[in-house]
Structure 1
Amino acid sequence: MRSTRRGLLIGLSSLAAAAATLVTARARAARFYDGPLSDHFDGTVFRDPHGAAPKSIGDLVRWWGTRGGEPWPDRAPSPFVDRPPPRVEGTGLRIAYVGHASFLVQTAGHNLLIDPVWSERASPFGFVGPKRVNDPGIPFDDLPPIDTVLVSHGHYDHLDVDTLSRLAAAHRPRVITPLGNDAVMAAHDPEIGAEAYDWHDRVELAPGLAVTLVPLRHWSARGVLDRNKTLWAGFVLETPAGRIYHVSDSGYGDGFRFREARDRYGPFRLAILPIGAYEPRWFMRDQHMDPAEAVQAFQDCGAELALAHHHGTFKLTDEAIDAPVRDLAAACRAAEIGADVFRVLRPGEVWAL
């Protein structure tokens, strides 16, 4: 029995190694974008001139060698399930939390998904990698007709090609994404048909509805050797209900990017801000805000209201499953911000403005 188990483990390890080798080889040869040079593209890779380079492979090995962090439950189901209406017309704004970084935004008779992930794992593999501990807050078959999808960057917990293929087959939405990510999607499924844009590009979606891609302090990769070969972005949504500033993943740094968004694209009615995946700080500080920094970003961008995301679904880092919400509450109390101003939803919950 012991030798059989050892053989099974060796076989699984060999399979994982072969799969990793294939992903690495594809990443080495991949070139996702070929366009003019800019202050954030050198002809091969993207960078944030106000940001920091991603951690090295050595740092990653160091973290993996010491990590473990707080354990998560295998399941943490939400008691909520949303079954949204077909449309929300006029100046109404309905935001449903699907989970992790995924939202359904309904306004102006338009249905828009942000970073949709319905897959069980945020991983290139179906058998290993971060596995969701709660179901999507909206069953896929209960989605209303989807007009537009926004995909912020290439990390697997944001760009889920299997979900995008399902959406393409069922809804044929317009897909808006930063430069290079369209090539990633097309390589998986040409039917996805994404449109790629640069920072500060503004895209009309419908009468009274537009989106602008805005810089954030982050990075991108889907393998070991394709770092920063695709661009990342946040989104400013212009809606009849007011402007929404959506921050996907971002470090805080000195707060420059949030003040820049306020000055260039504000005022904002709502900021959607990440609060999770922040421990250990020595590794995560440059790419993910902690809850106290999310509160500071909220103040910097000048939004009236805030909504949290990027927590409670996939264990990506070392903090406990409830730490982001608990730490956000403490940071809001310290800043005298009410829970009705900076809100936290569970998958399937809705905020109607």
Structure 2
Amino acid sequence: MGTDEPDRAPAVTWWGHSTTSIELGDVTVATDPLLTDRLYHLRRHAPAPPSHAARADVVLVSHLHHDHLHVPSLDSFGGAVPVVVPRGAPDVVRSLRGRVLVEVEPGDRVAVAGLDLEVLPAHHSGRRSTFERGGSVPAIGFRFTDGRTSCWYPGDTGLTGMTDIFDALEPVDLAAVPIGGWGPSLGDEHLDPEEAVEALARVGATWALAVHYGTFWPLWLKRLRPGNHHRLFVTPAQRFQRAMVQRRLTTTALTPEFGQRIELTPAGRA
């Protein structure tokens, strides 16, 4: 892609869960697109994404779990859009075959759609489900830049074994960091709001977009005690904002409404 619009401000739109559209000049990056209203026992607790949520120049897929690698959502982007996936993904998810795939693993650095893309490890299971193969396919994260604006999307990860990785990363302009999940126990393979702030403190970012929370609610949610209900599905954004203040980070925390587009101005460092 070219750089015909050098003065165009970068922007980000959160469509719910870990799905974003990150606009860097004339390149739009989509992360882990999940554009459906229903996923097994989960229901979208948000407006349905519009059709233009499936417009991008490149799609980044962090791991094989169905809420991150959702084949029907990928179909919405068309077959010509390159999709960056963990190495070995098409051997497990055969419906990926025939697409423009860029298979990567931690430590790789590739050029795609006008971006310099660095592939990072993640502390997270890569298995698609207990009934499918895929345990050897790594979960990954990404650091990428168009030469002007830099972004970090770690995918799903916990802090365990990752602090040295976070410390070694160059600070970024935009971090899209997960702060929650959908179940009553996140375990050590996810970040809760406070752990997300710890990760941000180690990496450094001008803006931090909270993702992976509050979008898909299980059908059995009404059986949760009210306290758990609010902590898991209602208050992660507020807890994230509060933890940012308590940690005294200079990073601007972004917790937009579903589908809200935010321009990142003034443009930061690349």
Normalised by the length of structure 1, the TM-score is 0.64
State the distance in 2 between where 1:335 and 1:132 align.
Answer: 32
Q: Tell me what 1:89 maps to.
A: 5
| Contact 1:214-1:261 within 8 A present in 2 as well | no
State the distance in 2 between where 1:285 and 1:95 align.
Answer: 28
Which protein shows a greater Rg? Answer: 1
Q: Does 1:100 align with 2:17?
A: yes
- Identity across aligned pairs (percent)? 26
Cα gap change, 1:258 to 1:135, in 2 (>3 Å) = farther
Cα gap change, 1:278 to 1:293, in 2 (>3 Å) = farther
Alpha-carbon displacement from aligned partner over 1:282-326 (angstroms, at most 9, x marks no partner) = x52311111111111110112232111001111269653212112
Cα gap change, 1:350 to 1:268, in 2 (>3 Å) = same
Q: Tell me what 1:158 maps to.
A: 68
State the distance in 2 between where 1:191 and 1:261 align.
Answer: 35
Amino acid in the other structure paired with 1:304: T
> What secondary structure, in the 3-state scheme, does the structure 2 residue paired with 1:306 have?
strand
State the distance in 1 between where 2:74 and 2:54 align.
Answer: 15
> Structure 1 residue 349: deviation in Å?
0.9
| Contact 1:111-1:144 within 8 A present in 2 as well | no
Q: Tell me what 1:48 maps to.
A: none
Q: Tell me what 1:212 maps to.
A: 118
More strand by share: 2
Q: Does 1:267 align with 2:171?
A: yes
**Structure 1 residues 1-353: aligned runs within 5 Å:** 89-90=5-6, 92-122=9-39, 128-137=40-49, 139-140=50-51, 142-143=52-53, 145-169=55-79, 172-185=80-93, 187-207=94-114, 209-225=115-131, 226=133, 228-253=135-160, 256-263=161-168, 265-277=169-181, 280=184, 283-315=185-217, 319-320=229-230, 321-337=233-249, 341-353=252-264
Of stretches 242-251 and 150-159 in structure 1, the one that deviates more from structure 2 is: 242-251
> Structure 1 residue 351: deviation in Å?
1.9
> What secondary structure, in the 3-state scheme, does the structure 2 residue paired with 1:237 have?
strand
Cα gap change, 1:215 to 1:135, in 2 (>3 Å) = same
| Contact 2:123-2:159 within 8 A present in 1 as well | yes
Amino acid in the other structure paired with 2:150: R
Cα gap change, 1:248 to 1:312, in 2 (>3 Å) = same
> What secondary structure, in the 3-state scheme, does the structure 2 residue paired with 1:211 have?
strand
User: How many residue pairs were aligned?
Assistant: 250
> What secondary structure, in the 3-state scheme, does the structure 1 residue paired with 2:217 have?
coil
| Contact 2:166-2:199 within 8 A present in 1 as well | no
> What secondary structure, in the 3-state scheme, does the structure 2 residue paired with 1:162 have?
helix
Cα gap change, 1:182 to 1:227, in 2 (>3 Å) = closer
Of stretches 89-98 and 194-203 in structure 1, the one that deviates more from structure 2 is: 89-98
| Contact 1:278-1:285 within 8 A present in 2 as well | no
Normalised by the length of structure 2, the TM-score is 0.82
| Contact 1:107-1:240 within 8 A present in 2 as well | no
> Structure 1 residue 333: deviation in Å?
2.9
> What secondary structure, in the 3-state scheme, does the structure 2 residue paired with 1:295 have?
helix
> Structure 1 residue 143: deviation in Å?
4.5
Name stretches of at least 5 consecutive residues in structure 2 with no aligned partner.
222-227, 265-270
State the distance in 1 between where 2:116 and 2:10 align.
Answer: 14
State the distance in 2 between where 1:223 and 1:110 align.
Answer: 33
> What secondary structure, in the 3-state scheme, does the structure 1 residue paired with 2:241 have?
helix
What root-mean-square deviation, in Å, do the aligned CA atoms of Structure 1 and Structure 2 show? 2.5
Name stretches of at least 5 consecutive residues in structure 1 with no aligned partner.
1-86, 123-127
Alpha-carbon displacement from aligned partner over 1:47-68 (angstroms, at most 9, x marks no partner) = xxxxxxxxxxxxxxxxxxxxxx
More helix by share: 1
Amino acid in the other structure paired with 1:307: L
Amino acid in the other structure paired with 1:177: V
